[in-house]
Amino acid sequence: MMYEGLKHTHLTLIGLSVGLFVLRFIWSMMGSGLMQRKWVKIVPHVLDTLLLLSGIALIMVAGWMPLRDAWLTEKLLAMVAYIFLGVLTFKLQRGRVFKVVAFLGALGWVYYMAVLAVTKSPMLLS
């Protein structure tokens, strides 16, 4: 029962985090003043912290171990790639094409993490 609750919480936080990432990207590309709002700068960090904590809780409850469970190791590495590309998307003052490529790359890593979570079959480290 605890696992199911944590899993649903984790999935909800993923949806909120990725949805806000996409929305912020759209606002950024439009040059919207909404990007300067205080909540837009704070909420993503709160969501991502809760998302990370729910992921850690799932790992503990399920008894998975990074390094032992190669799919989890890959998922953690994919998460680092996603964070890196997310930072590039918003923090670097580069051209629009660069931002679009970083954004699409970040979403690609989100998709890969979803595949790993469902299949539990590593593709890079196997």
Task: Concatenate the DSSP letters of all residues of 19-35 into one string.
Answer: HHHHHHHHHHHHT-GGG
Work out the pLDDT band at 124, boundaries 50, 70, 90: confident
Instruction: Give which of 41, 11, 12 is closest to 24, Cα–Cα.
Output: 41
Instruction: Give which of 62, 66, 54, 61 is closest to 8, Cα–Cα.
Output: 54
Q: Are 3 and 61 in contact (CB under 8 A)?
A: yes
Work out the pLDDT band at 109, boundaries 50, 70, 90: very high
Q: Where are the domains of the chain?
A: 1-63, 66-126
Work out the pLDDT band at 39, boundaries 50, 70, 90: very high
The pLDDT of residue 21 is 98
Compute the half-sphere exposure of residue 94: CA atoms within 13 Å on the CB side of its CA. 14
Phi-psi region of 32 (alpha: psi -120 to 50; beta: other; left: phi over 0): beta
Note the pTM of the prediction, 2 decimals: 0.92
CA 126 to centroid of chain Cα atoms: 23
Cα Rg of the chain (Å, integer) = 16
pLDDT tops 80 at residue 126: no
- d(CA 32, CA 17) in angstroms, rounded, equals 19
Mean pLDDT across 57-78: 95
Does an H or E element contain 89, and which? helix 70-91
Compute the half-sphere exposure of residue 27: CA atoms within 13 Å on the CB side of its CA. 15
